[in-house]
A and B are shown apart, each in its own frame.
Chain A
Amino acid sequence: MSNKFAAGLIAAALPLTAAAAPESFTVDPYHSFPYFEAVHLGTSVIRGHFEKISGKLVLDTAARSGAIELAVPTATLTTGDNDKGSRPRSRDEHLRSPDFFNVAEFPAMSYKGKATKFNGDAPATVEGELTLLGVSKPVTLTVERWKCGPDPRTQGKRYFCGGNATGAFNRSDFGMKFIVGPVSDEVKLWMSLEAFRD
């Protein structure tokens, strides 16, 4: 085999090798938000979200594997009610207290998971552990609208992936037992997630 032919073979194989390798991504904090919702007094649904998130993704589409690690500063939660008015406290203040998220004692919550099912090249199910109030419990996320490609905002200079993830957990499993009943035990999660390739 001539040297030129061998070099050509290697050059042709390089992109394939690169595509097959696990790729690392950093979460875009400006387009990623974890939302939560709970039923209030058995009627309306109260929604809130955390204003900050950070994390890493590792994706290997060829091997159909992936992993995710997210960290959320709990003090950044908001449900849109942060003015107490004539009440003793606003809902957001109450949610930050030891009755619920206890943000002074537990300033962060985290999620660590692995993609266990794929739909084509896109991760469809992530199985992992949510750590909240110092307790870790399994929470499964269903991934929708997952897409990867060149970022059109940078004329393709950056490569990104994004999608939505949904899941649910019972807050009492994490020790958040305050008025379970009037405020539902089940908390639903909905997360928008975008991440840039490192």
Chain B
Amino acid sequence: MSDADFKMLKARPEIRSIDAEAFPKTLPLDGIVRYDMRVNRYRSGDIVVREGDYGNSAFLILQGELVIARSPGIPAEQLGRIQTQREGVLKRVASLWRNSWVPEVRDVDRYGRQTEDQGARTRKRGAYLQDVPAIMREQDTIILVEGTLFGELAALGRVPRSTTIFAESPAVVMEIRWQGLRDIMKFDQKWRRKINDLYRDTALKSYLRQIDILSGVSQEHSSAIAKHCLFETYGTFDWNVTFRRGKPDEPVIASEGDYPDGLLVIRAGFARLSMRYGKGRRTLTYLGAGDMYGLHELYQAWKDPTSTNLRLKFTISALGYVDVIRIPATVLDEHVFPNIRKPHDPNVDALQRNVAEDALMEWALDKRYMNGTQSMVIDLDKCIRCDDCVRACAATHNGNPRFRREGPIFDHWMVANACMHCKDPVCMIGCPTGAIHRSIEGGTVLINDDTCIGCATCANSCPYNNIVMVPIRNRQGIPVIDTAESGLPIMKATKCDLCAGRPGGPACVRACPHDALTRFDFRDFQVEAMD
């Protein structure tokens, strides 16, 4: 950050009002401003955040105004998304002889045909909107004025951006990384209150209503619960970095033997439930978004305060990153427990299993496979290593397979190196053009080859090495070189797209004659493996 920008930020009332004395010497406010914030200058049409993107930063408007395109929303094509269309029969017939023997051949003229406005040759499609006046005419918009803070929900809660925000006219915006935002919230009460209140006002009530035990409570009780909820975050947002280095974080949220002071509701991320076993810790299960911990013990304490068996039976720890809502015990006693029946404790069932039965869970959580919604699992007791799956994948992707039939093995299960279409898609964080995105239709994580600039942010972020950067070639099979700038081959990110647009689902699954290959959500896989 330049000194001028630093001074400008320090002079802003929002920053000036922060009590710098409250910050420890090891983490001064100036350091956060300088290293966790940056000043972005947007031109007319520049997209600040795209609907559906996973971001890791929040924004504060310093000068000018931004526009929320509320309804009907910016067309996906203008946001750099792929419109997955069902592939016609003729095209599929043609693929029988048109698939190239040369790897990663592209129609490079297509990239040239991508419309770029004459005055902004450096701007990539997906990073700006072309016809802002038309968008302003056709969209139901909301204007965000100077001083507005936005994007904090996606930055702190690992949820997709709910709307597209762009600049109609030039604007200056401060962007703050989630780490900086979290630190400021930790040491400055006003910011903490401001952001928590924003969340309470915008999303919390509707979220709480989705929780089973709270779905039946009245509006009045619901408001009281929302008012007292506490927001906690454990682990690091970019857990994939430490995981890839082989030193995964797993901070403890609540320990076995502690007295529970509130119900823990997982809002985002995953948590491991474990207990002491011998000299180690035995994993019983994991909790994902919407799961709760401590309900049974809290209910017992409310029902029979004299009971001696009120301590937590298990330890709950963050598998990388987890966002928790803590509903205090007193709030539950007053507003929830009188209206519900004794809850079943699902975790007790896990104690019926032996450690050998839990070994798969232990292994999978250590590998962080709970994240996968479409993990490619191969039963090696059935697989005859014929590679029909790989060939089918190549046949449906212009001769280029989009996965590798290799990967970690547990017992007779192999989790192959194919995109798992994660619940927490860390690969989507930081894509500068929004080329990697979740399809609205099916939740599949897709890469738009047209807007991918080959920066490898997604490939470097994927904790499972399931995104591969490839040098592309033209139709003559000659590698395409970036002659204008680096002189290096032009790269594109590639990965499994679940055969989007092809009828019948992933070709790899359909091609396996021995029913050895399946795409699993991890919870279903566990059930299958148990069987």
A and B: bona fide binding partners: no
**A interface, CB within 8 angstroms of B:** none
